[in-house]
Amino acid sequence: MKAALAMAPDMLPFIFGDDELRRLQQLLDLDADRILSSIDDLDDEERAATELLITGWGAFRIGPNELAMLPALRAVVHWGGGIGFLDQSATARGIAVSSARAGNAIPVAEFTVAMITLAAKDAFWVSREYCREQRTIHREIELPHTGLYETTIGLVGASTIGTLVIEQLRDRDVEILVYDPYLTATDAARLEVEPVGDLEELARRSSVLSLHAPAMPQTDRMISRTVLAAMPDGATLVNTARGSLVDQDALIEELAGGRLRAILDVTEPEVLPKGHPLYALPNVFLTPHLAGSTGTELRRLGRAALAEVERFVSGAPFEHPFPLT
């Protein structure tokens, strides 16, 4: 089966080790030293024969014209999460698509739960005070409301990541509230969470508000000025989703006033311009889109993609199909 790689070339050694590449070449007619940057990298004979594309971050756009130039293409196995580079018409062509979205969700959920735990303990802010004042912190007197026990956590979105966060929080003696228009009563009961149908109510009841909704027109700045104003004094906003979900100017105003705290792994834009207030505000913990797969975690994505290739070659359906519509 003729296959090709399409991704940022410098990502290959982080995704696939020698063992994975050998296995791919056992399964496929694949040149592992050749990574496509454009459909033009294939000659006419290769385009006509290619049945499988293994893609990742940095893959070139595969629109209707590119699909028409790949008449034999039967599947796309993507070791990344979203597949915005692939035109939706691939579905009508009968092309099977797989994504490692589930694998990438694991470190994001782990990161989020860690941030929620540290936010509940006031860890970031107390650390700064401790280093600044260099004195004994009388925890029971000065931090009477800290701790994760019986904290109310509000989640925006019961997505793949949101669901993993719920599963990891359930055994931590916290109350979990979820805003998600697509969350059914049956699923809420199964997840042991309380559905909340209004974002302002969710914000008002949450000590930590964590975002797990996708970026789309309907979710643009859904964490609005009024939602932020509804959050209790001292509450923390955690965003490991997308910066566009938040009215960032309104958030900066709340943070500058000292009423709220924020843990932001994403901003709008990424990267913020030099001198931006979010770099300097003392009640912000800012990370450079670190929650998703990095370092050793990238190998999980490669192994997930290899497993999907093995399924496809054997005639089995993908374990993680990705709907394009």
Task: List per-residue pLDDT tens for the chain, 325 residues long.
Answer: 999 999 999 999 999 999 999 999 999 999 999 999 999 999 999 999 999 999 999 999 999 999 999 999 999 999 998 899 999 999 999 999 999 999 999 999 999 999 999 999 999 999 999 999 999 999 999 999 999 999 999 999 999 999 999 999 999 999 999 999 999 999 999 999 999 999 999 999 999 999 999 999 999 999 999 999 999 999 999 999 999 999 999 999 999 999 999 999 999 999 999 999 999 999 999 999 999 999 999 999 999 999 999 999 999 999 999 987 6
What are residue 261's phi and psi, to 5 degrees? -125, 160
The Cβ of residue 242 has, within 10 Å, a number of other Cβ atoms equal to 20
Kindly state the DSSP code that residue 218 receives in the 8-state scheme: G
Predicted TM-score (pTM) above 0.75 = yes
Within a 13 Å sphere around the CA of 140, how many CA atoms are in the beta-carbon half?
Answer: 0
List the beta bridge partners of residue 208. 153, 236
Kindly state the DSSP code that residue 56 receives in the 8-state scheme: -
DSSP string, 92-152: HTT-EEEE-HHHHHHHHHHHHHHHHHHHHTTHHHHHHHHHHH-S---HHHH-TT-SSTT-E
Within a 13 Å sphere around the CA of 139, how many CA atoms are in the beta-carbon half?
Answer: 6
Do β-strands 261-264 and 284-286 pair in parallel, antiparallel, or remain unpaired?
A: parallel
Chain CA centroid to CA 266, Å:
10
Enumerate domains of the chain plus CATH numbers. Answer: 3-99+296-314 (3.40.50.720), 104-286 (3.40.50.720)
